[in-house]
Amino acid sequence: MDKQNSRFRWSVFTSVLFTYLLMASQRTAPGLITDQVMRDFSVTASTIGLLTSIQFFVYTGLQIPMGILADRYGPNFFLIIGAFLTGAGTIIYSLGTNEFVLFIARILTGTGDATIWVNMVLILGQWFKVKEFVRLIGIAGMTGSLGFLLATVPFSAWIQLLGWRAAFFSAGILLCLCGILLYYVLIQKPKQIHFSESATVKDGLKREKMSVLLRRIFSSRQAWALFFCHFGVVGAYVGFIGSWAVPYGMGVYGMTRSAASQLIMVGLIGALIGAPLTSWISSRLGTIKRPYIVVHLTILLSWCTFLLFKGMPPFLMLYLLFFLIGFGYGASALTFAVVRQTFPIEEAGVVSGVANTGGFLSAVLLPSIMGMVLDHFQHASSSISNGYYYGFITPVIFSIIGLIGIMSIKEGSREKGYS
């Protein structure tokens, strides 16, 4: 039986996305208990900052290796292991007795988290045809944003009900159960139904040395175009929203912490809408590049607007800008639709890893660069709005890089490996 024509592919889709929803929630859920962790473990704010960033660094550093491993040995095994690692890390976090244990827990969680996106892209690529994939990758991107949303009010209520240790412990158990579910759905059940496998998918990379493969990928203009495309659209959103959005609202506009947090929520709403909508539009138009160029231009103009108004646009416009920037981040799932469309499926894991590395490398760089700019203006006794004004030059430059990336992409379906 052919995987791409079976009804069972929707069970695969649902199971994988539910696991992604839970894993994505654990990226940001520890931020809900920062004050409690500082109090319970007597740690400083800098320790909390390192604890928060270490998962991010592990995730970014493992994207290309994970793509290589997934292409060579198949994505199913690594996604299952990733669910168990994320679950184990979350459980250990809930049982931690000192900061060293917490660090180990977040490293485990980051390692498990690093498996999800690349392997999910490959699994969906195996079970769905190219046209279906373009539509569904937007839903997958939306699921990640829903995971971030789950880690706000719902998980906060769960913590308030059970206490933070019991809440994280239960989340870890649920993730381990997802690992068992994925084993049944991805490995056990397909064996019983006897789905046909493509010889190209199974054996393609075994006939080629890894050094040869990597040399070809890293010399590919298309792969680098995808790297820079994702660099421009992801980092500006994740890096700014995740680190400076709340301080910006409080420092420049005099908002309360609660009101400034609404800026993050507006961006998140934009991401929830942007992912499925842009995928649907691309599918209807039969092209990914043209609508994606519009998205990149919109993001660039949004960041330029901050510069136009000296870092302090009118209040209502501020919410619109955050929505548009979030919308663009949601549309970033189109990067992987291009990977699926233009690379053989046996190479899609490596290329997806390269593209995803670009996105999260910019997310690592932007907070640090903006922080140095703000520190400079603070030491110069300048106004905080001046600091943010010059700080916004960074996401503008990143967005220009992203626009160059998407304009450099060559669009066109390669049927080999996709049937």
Q: What mean pLDDT value characterizes the chain?
A: 85
Q: Are residues 173 and 193 in the same domain?
A: yes
* Separation CA 156–CA 89 (nearest Å): 19
Range 183-210 average pLDDT:
66
Q: Are residues 207 and 74 in the same domain?
A: no
pLDDT beyond 90 at 261: no
Q: Are residues 106 and 23 in the same domain?
A: yes
Q: Are residues 271 and 159 in the same domain?
A: no
pLDDT beyond 70 at 11: yes
Range 41-70 average pLDDT:
80
pLDDT one-digit tens code per residue, 305-358: 999 998 899 989 999 999 999 999 999 989 988 988 888 877 888 888 899 889
State the pLDDT at residue 298.
96
Q: Are residues 241 and 349 in the same domain?
A: yes
Domain boundary among 197, 231, 248: 197
> How much is the pTM?
0.78
Residue written as tokens 């203009």? 221
* Separation CA 24–CA 150 (nearest Å): 9
pLDDT one-digit tens code per residue, 93-148: 999 888 899 999 999 998 999 999 889 988 988 888 888 888 888 888 889 888 88
Q: Are residues 282 and 387 in the same domain?
A: yes
Query: Dmax over Cα atoms in the chain, in whole Å?
Result: 70
Q: Are residues 359 and 395 in the same domain?
A: yes
Range 201-218 average pLDDT:
65
Range of the structural domain that residue 115 is part of: 1-197
Q: Are residues 255 and 155 in the same domain?
A: no
pLDDT beyond 70 at 199: no
* Separation CA 59–CA 61 (nearest Å): 6
**Selected residue with higher pLDDT from 377 and 409:** 409
Q: Of 116, 60, 108, nearest to 86 (Cα)?
A: 108
Domain count, the chain: 2
277: CB partners within 8 A, 6+ apart:
138, 330
The one-letter amino acid code at 298 reads T
CB-CB contact of 90 with 26 (8 Å): yes
Domain boundary among 148, 172, 197: 197
CATH number, domain of 187, equals 1.20.1250.20
**174 pLDDT band (50/70/90 cuts)?**
very high
State the pLDDT at residue 1.
60
**383 pLDDT band (50/70/90 cuts)?**
low
pLDDT beyond 90 at 414: no
Q: Are residues 352 and 287 in the same domain?
A: yes
**258 pLDDT band (50/70/90 cuts)?**
confident
Q: Are residues 355 and 234 in the same domain?
A: yes
State the pLDDT at residue 165.
93
Domain boundary among 197, 220, 252: 197
Q: Are residues 163 and 237 in the same domain?
A: no
Work out whether the CA dihedral 216, 217, 218, 224 comes out positive or negative. positive
Q: Are residues 253 and 356 in the same domain?
A: yes
